[in-house]
Structure 1
Amino acid sequence: MRRVEHVMGFPVSLRIDDPDVPGSAADAVFGWLREADERFSPFKPGSEVSRYGRGELARQELSADLAEVLDLCAHYRTATGGAFDAWPPGRSFDPCAIVKGWSVQRAAGLLTAAGARRFCLNAGGDVVTSGGPWRVGVRHPEHADRLCAVVEVTDGAVATSARYERGDHIVDGRTGRPATGLLSLTVVAPTLTVADAVATAAFTLGADGVGWAADQDGCEVFAVDSDRRVLRTAGFPKAPGERAAAA
């Protein structure tokens, strides 16, 4: 089964290699992602996130889901000394860096509950897999038609934070200015909740983020810094025969 939809502002592709999984499983995945977009987008004035950001909802009035997202935001804010901040200086509350990976991982859980054992769910380049192995390409930060690496993942997730799609959109919460020091940083982790959050949080730390991400439980890291040096942890999973391209 293969299906692609545009949700949450980016293409989401789903491939399920289990022939007995019903089409309703894919319906549930995309239905949940559309729901998450409506509830947690800071760009929709009526969303729960927007209402909370404007002070219309107290913490005790929030859904359990948003409370969980807030706890994750607070965790990474503390862990990075304020570099990662869903409440950046001079800007409204924006938990997108947490919501994307968290919501897609929740969608993967729906697939597992429906009996899917071998699948790949790709949300705008961030990927969660089951079964496998699956090969996931890491895009070159300066050349859209080239890869820096190919990762082989069986049960896990891959997420990249970079400047090539949206420019300097990742802000260092300590200064309010765009994060510098890295061109891209990719994290492989057991879940996309962790991979996506750690990749973004590490990017806010600049060059120091590579070591910080490597110290997070279960995380392996591949990065290209502003001097175009390739940095990778020893356990970063390579596909057989893969060689990193020079940055």
Structure 2
Amino acid sequence: MRRVEHVMGFPVSLRIDDGDGDTQGEAADAVFAWLREVDARFSPFKPDSEVSRLDRGELAPHDLSPDLAEVLGLCEDYRVATLGAFQVRLPGRGLDPCAVVKGWSVQRAAELLTARGTRRFCLNAGGDVASAGGPWRVGVRHPERADRLCAVLEIADGAVATSARYERGDHIVDGRTGRPATGLLSMTVVAPSLTEADATATAAFAMGAEGVGWAAAREGCEVFAVDAEHRVFRSPNLPVAA
């Protein structure tokens, strides 16, 4: 079964390779309902979302939902781990935890599938992938050529996320300087969960060139990166497809 919907501002595609049609459809319904709920609750662009209400001071810390408290806790963990390069509160901007919300919510969606007994699936959210029952092949786009890949990875049960400048320009800011991070062209992270892969890729990109070693040193993470000088870095155990 294959289904594609536009949620949270990007296309989300789901492929399920086991189970019957009814079971697959119910599982897909649960995934997309959850992602739509996340968009309504956590989008900083929706004035009635929980994130927007917190940013306006309408919610006290003890009033937060457990989910938002978890997300903000992860944001703080990455802020501390990067010595401030990763920030969800930048000067002159509102609270924006999207860099963690995307991977966290899609990982939760993958866990919904597993809880329903789905054993072989690939969930692709705007190019970031959570999968089970592979092998699955995941292409890493060339940072300057939309029609080329610079690597093909092979994963079974795990996740792949890429942060780069080619889709949205210099949108990732180094929180230590307040300026766009330009030391890398792209940063791809393979990790056991998309929560870790996506947040680590974004945090490492914000750090610039020093983020490559930082990400590669994190437990369970493998990296493929291209810096601003077009140098390619790949960790020794990166699961490159044969």
Match for residue 156 of structure 2?
A: 154
For 2:26, the equivalent position in structure 1 comes to 24
Identity of matched residues, %? 77
Q: Which residue of 1 aligns with 2:15?
A: 15
Q: TM-score, normalised by structure 2?
A: 0.98
Aligned residues: 240
Distance in 1 between the 2:8 and 2:148 partners?
A: 26
Secondary structure, counterpart of 1:22 in structure 2 = helix
- Which residue pairs with 1:186 in the alignment? 188
Counterparts of 1:27-66 in structure 2, within 5 Å, are: 27-66=29-68
Cα distance in 2 between the residues matched to 1:22 and 1:81: 43
Counterparts of 1:19 and 1:28, CA distance in 2: 15
Instruction: Report how far residue 145 of structure 1 moved.
Output: 0.6
Quote the Cα distance in structure 2 between the aligned partners of 1:177 and 1:50: 24
Post-superposition shift, 1:91?
A: 1.0
- Give the equivalent residue in structure 1 for 2:126: 124
Choose the corresponding residue for 1:85, options 84, 87, 105.
87
Residue in 2 that maps onto 1:135: 137
| Rounded Cα–Cα distance in structure 1 between residues aligned with 2:24 and 2:102 | 25
1:22 deviates by 3.4
User: Which ranges of 4 or more aligned residues in structure 1 deviate by more than 4 Å?
Assistant: none
Give unmatched runs, 5+ long, in structure 2. Answer: none
1:140-189 deviation line (CA, Å, top 9, x unaligned): 00000100100000000000000000000000111111011100000000
How far does the alpha carbon of each residue in 1:64-93 deviate from its partner, in whole angstroms, 9 at most, with x for none? 000000000000000000000011122111
Alignment counterpart, residue 214 of structure 2, candidates 212, 215, 238: 212
Counterpart of 2:228, as a letter, is: S
State the Cα RMSD in Å: 0.6
**Secondary structure of the equivalent of 1:160?**
strand
Give how far 1:29 is off: 0.2
Normalised by the length of structure 1, the TM-score is: 0.96
Superimposed CA distance per residue, residues 173-226 of structure 1 (whole angstroms, 9 cap, x where no aligned partner): 111110111000000000000000000000000000000001111000000000
Counterpart for residue 164 of structure 1: 166
One of 164, 175, 192 as aligned partner of 2:177:
175
Taking the aligned partners of 1:43 and 1:194, their CA distance within structure 2 comes to 24
